């Protein structure tokens, strides 16, 4: 597709429940990035993929967060045993090459708003 | 850790006024990007500045990258209600071999333009 598609748009989970978010990158884009936007609009990098391989996972909380990008499937971000502080908007972005450059910008989806109650 | 400080955090102006948003760091960035984000949507890239001292214009928006590549500004002339949104600056890490998509974002400037 021509846009990064994220589902669901909204997700509500009770504390301790699992949450799974999906992202379909733009066709032909090799890189996928996950960001978390919390209060005061702060964006935090979580993880990036080059095709199905983890490229950089230095932003991922190790204990409860995991992510995958499998061939012919949407990418996913899973949070086991959600906590109140996980409430945020999770954005997926894709780029043709390793993004952040003029020749290969990041294209963001519209995000999934996760509310943990 | 590279940090980007944006100011002001909030800006409320009348249609037709001019404004400037600043993005400052103590670190050198190889490039800086400016995004605009509307409620319920993801950030949309406006411009990337790469060369120190670079000035780029996008209709009524003028972007500058500081000579030392530590700061940038966004100037909007004759603001319109359609300019309302969250403006974010962002930059990639400088260390070689790391992901350029791993952006550091500023805190954002919420701009409201009243008709």
User: What pLDDT score was predicted for residue A105?
Assistant: 83
Tell me the β-bridge partners of B114.
Answer: B14
* Binary contact (B45, A42; C-beta < 8 A): no
Q: Decide which of B76 and A99 is more confident.
A: B76
User: Which residues form the domain of A63?
Assistant: 5-116
Of 1.10.260.40, 2.60.40.420, 2.60.40.10, 1.10.4030.10, which CATH number belongs to B5-114? Answer: 2.60.40.10
- Name the β-bridge partners of A5: A24
Task: State the pLDDT confidence band at A76, using cuts at 50, 70 and 90.
Answer: very high
Q: What is the distance, to the nearest Å, from the Cα of residue B45 to the centroid of all Cα atoms in its chain? A: 10
A8 CB near a chain B CB, below 8 Å? no
A69-90 burial: b if 16+ Cβ within 10 Å, else e:
beeeebbbbebeebeeebbbbb
- Tell me which residue in A41, A106, A110 faces B101 most closely, judged by beta carbons: A106
pLDDT of residue B102: 84
> Tokens representing A47?
């993880």
Q: Provide the pLDDT for residue B1.
A: 67
Whether B33 sits inside 8 A of A42 (CB atoms) is no
B58 touching A (Cβ < 8 Å)? no
Asked whether the predicted pLDDT for residue B97 surpasses 60, the reply is: no
Answer yes or no: are the C-beta atoms of A25 and A94 closer than 8 Å.
Answer: yes
For residue A103, is pLDDT > 80? no
Query: Does the pLDDT at position B100 exceed 90?
Result: no
State whether A100 and B99 contact (CB < 8 Å): yes
Mean per-residue pLDDT, A90-110: 82
* Total of domains in chain A: 1
* CB contact residues (below 8 A), chain A span 19-48, against chain B: 31, 33, 40-43, 45, 48
Write the DSSP string, B36-82.
EE-TTS--EEEEEE-STT-EEEETTEEEEE-TTSSEEEEEESS--GG
The domain locations on chain B are 5-114
CATH number at residue A45: 2.60.40.10
Mean pLDDT, range B10-22, rounded to an integer: 98
pLDDT confidence of residue B70: 94
Q: How far from chain centre, in Å, is Cα A103?
A: 22
pLDDT at A53 > cutoff 70: yes
In the beta sheet, which residues pair with residue B58?
A: B61
The CA-atom distances, in angstroms, between A29 and each of A52, A73, A79 are 12, 14, 25
Rounded to 5°, angle at Cα A103 from A102 and A107: 80
Q: What is the DSSP letter of A86?
A: G
pLDDT of residue B92: 84
**pLDDT value, residue B66:** 96
CA pair distance B105, B90, nearest whole angstrom: 4
What is the pLDDT, as a whole number, of residue A99?
Answer: 60
The average pLDDT across B53-69 equals 96
Cross-chain residue pair A100–B86, CB shorter than 8 Å: no
The pLDDT of residue A102: 55
What is the reported pLDDT for B101? Answer: 78
């Amino acid at each position: 597709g021509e846009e990064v598609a994220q589902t669901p748009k909204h997700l509500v989970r009770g504390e301790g429940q699992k949450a799974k978010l999906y992202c379909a990158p733009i066709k032909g884009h090799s890189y996928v990035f996950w960001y978390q936007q919390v209060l005061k609009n702060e964006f935090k990098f979580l993880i990036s993929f080059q095709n199905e391989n983890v490229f950089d996972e230095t932003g991922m909380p190790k204990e409860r967060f995991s992510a995958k990008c499998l061939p012919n499937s949407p990418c996913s971000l899973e949070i086991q045993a959600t906590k109140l502080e996980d409430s945020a908007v999770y954005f997926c972005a894709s780029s043709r090459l390793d993004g952040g450059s003029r020749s290969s910008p990041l294209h963001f989806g519209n995000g999934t708003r996760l509310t943990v109650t | 850790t590279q940090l980007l400080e944006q100011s002001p955090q909030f800006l409320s102006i009348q249609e037709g006024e001019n404004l400037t948003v600043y993005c400052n760091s103590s670190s050198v960035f190889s490039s800086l990007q400016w995004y605009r984000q509307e409620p319920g949507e993801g950030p949309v890239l406006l411009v990337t500045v790469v060369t120190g001292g670079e000035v780029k214009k996008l209709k009524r928006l003028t972007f500058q990258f500081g000579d030392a590549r530590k700061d940038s500004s966004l100037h909007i002339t004759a603001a319109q209600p359609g300019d309302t949104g969250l403006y974010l600056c962002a930059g990639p890490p400088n260390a070689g071999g790391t992901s350029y998509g791993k952006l550091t974002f500023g805190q954002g400037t919420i701009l409201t333009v009243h008709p």
